[in-house]
């Protein structure tokens, strides 16, 4: 393991808003000026490198991960030594003063950093993050909970903070008919041969967008969801990010391929009534062949069997489940967190 390197594990922030204007749901937060988003990202210490949109939401590839803007919610996911939580105050300000919108829920998640001592405040510890969140979010978000979901692998604990007002339950009421879930996958110890596909040839003369498209096709990432519109970007000399858009559902991939601290993440939303999760999981495992992998699924009720499909999908591919933890969050749904390691590794 390297003494120091690029931190692949992302921090993820999801904010939900509401407003009294009936036309709010048509555009809402998407009406924020790009300059305002740039100022938010400046506080986080990252920039936009590529963007795409459809009739449902806008997706931005960042210099450190991704940003998704829906009419009623914003999702920001950043890696490295970014200061993600510093985006909350400016986002609340712009939403309230420019659009007349009020924050009604907040969710923050992350794994365990590979290089925790390199993280700046407030990401110096989960305790510091929770304290910062408690002091930053409005008092009307009174249903709050912070939890560290453990595993047998110290490198893959799952940190969750949620806060909602009494009336908001985004994971329970956004679309009851389709029972949506959010799946976050974190992978370390990538297969070295597969990881090399995320290095660019020296002086290839291509733009980041062009090189990203090549990586998407070379690795088979475009086959995870053939229906998705993909916005991809390859960094120089290595690294890769992708946002996928399929209707109102997003997916995103980020890869840090350097040997010694290789990391990849995959995140998507879907419906628990679909069987796509098995196909998606198997494609992701085939693309990266991780030595260790964690899967977090957030949904309205963990009593549904979607989390059981995870193990049945990946264990035939040489991974063994080592741990499974469940927790419920007030007005914010349930989380099931599982870890897997390659069968070639000792238990």
Which residues does the annotation place in the binding site for substrate?
A: 6, 64, 235, 258
Positions of E strands within the chain: 11-18, 48-53, 58-62, 65-69, 73-78, 102-110, 143-149, 158-164, 180-188, 229-234, 240-246, 249-256, 263-271, 292-299, 319-329, 333-342
Q: Can 312 be counted among the known catalytic residues?
A: no
Among 65, 105, 151, 265, the one annotated catalytic: 65
**CB 169 within 8 Å of CB 331:** yes
**Exposed/middle/buried for 62, CB within 10 Å: 0-12, 13-18, 19+?**
buried
Q: Is 241 a catalytic residue?
A: yes
**Which of 241, 262, 265, 294 is flagged as catalytic?**
241
Helix, strand, or coil (residue 82): coil
Catalytic-residue membership of 159: no
Catalytic status, residue 157: no
Helix H, strand E, coil C: the string for 4-36 is CCCCCCCEEEEEEEECCCCCHHHCHHHHCCHHH
- Which of 254, 262, 265, 296 is labelled catalytic? 254
Q: Which candidate in 79, 104, 106, 299 is catalytic?
A: 79
Binding residues: 6, 64, 235, 258
The catalytic residue positions are 65, 79, 241, 254
């Amino acid at each position: 393991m390297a003494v120091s390197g690029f931190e692949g594990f992302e921090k993820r922030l999801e904010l939900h808003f509401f407003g009294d204007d009936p036309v709010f749901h048509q555009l809402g937060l998407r009406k924020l000026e790009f300059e305002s988003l740039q100022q938010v990202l400046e506080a986080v210490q990252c920039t936009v490198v590529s963007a795409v949109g459809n009739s449902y939401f806008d997706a931005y590839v960042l210099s450190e991960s991704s940003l998704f803007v829906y009419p009623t919610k914003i999702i920001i996911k950043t890696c490295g030594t970014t200061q993600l939580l510093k985006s909350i105050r400016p986002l609340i300000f712009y939403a309230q003063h420019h659009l007349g919108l009020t924050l009604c829920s907040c969710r923050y998640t992350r794994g365990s950093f590979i290089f925790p001592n390199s993280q700046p405040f407030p990401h110096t510890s989960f305790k510091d993050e929770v304290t910062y969140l408690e002091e930053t979010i409005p008092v009307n978000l009174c249903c709050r909970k912070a939890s560290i979901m453990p595993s047998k692998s110290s490198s893959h604990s799952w940190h969750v903070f949620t806060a909602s007002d009494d009336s908001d339950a985004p994971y329970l009421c956004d679309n009851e008919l389709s029972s949506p879930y959010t799946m976050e996958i974190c992978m370390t110890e990538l297969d070295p041969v597969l990881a090399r596909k995320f290095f660019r040839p020296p002086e290839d003369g291509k733009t980041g967008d062009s090189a990203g498209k090549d990586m998407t096709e070379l690795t088979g990432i475009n086959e995870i969801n053939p229906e998705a519109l993909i916005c991809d970007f390859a960094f120089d000399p290595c690294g890769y990010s992708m946002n996928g858009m399929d209707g109102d559902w997003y997916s995103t991939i980020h890869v840090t391929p350097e040997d010694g601290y290789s990391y990849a993440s995959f995140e998507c939303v879907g419906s628990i009534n679909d069987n796509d999760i098995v196909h998606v999981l198997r494609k992701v495992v085939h693309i990266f062949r991780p030595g260790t992998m964690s899967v977090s699924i957030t949904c309205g009720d963990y009593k549904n069997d979607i989390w059981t499909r995870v193990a049945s999908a990946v264990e035939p591919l040489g991974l063994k489940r080592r741990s499974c933890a469940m927790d419920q969050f007030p007005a914010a749904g349930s989380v099931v967190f599982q870890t897997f390691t390659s069968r070639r590794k000792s238990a």
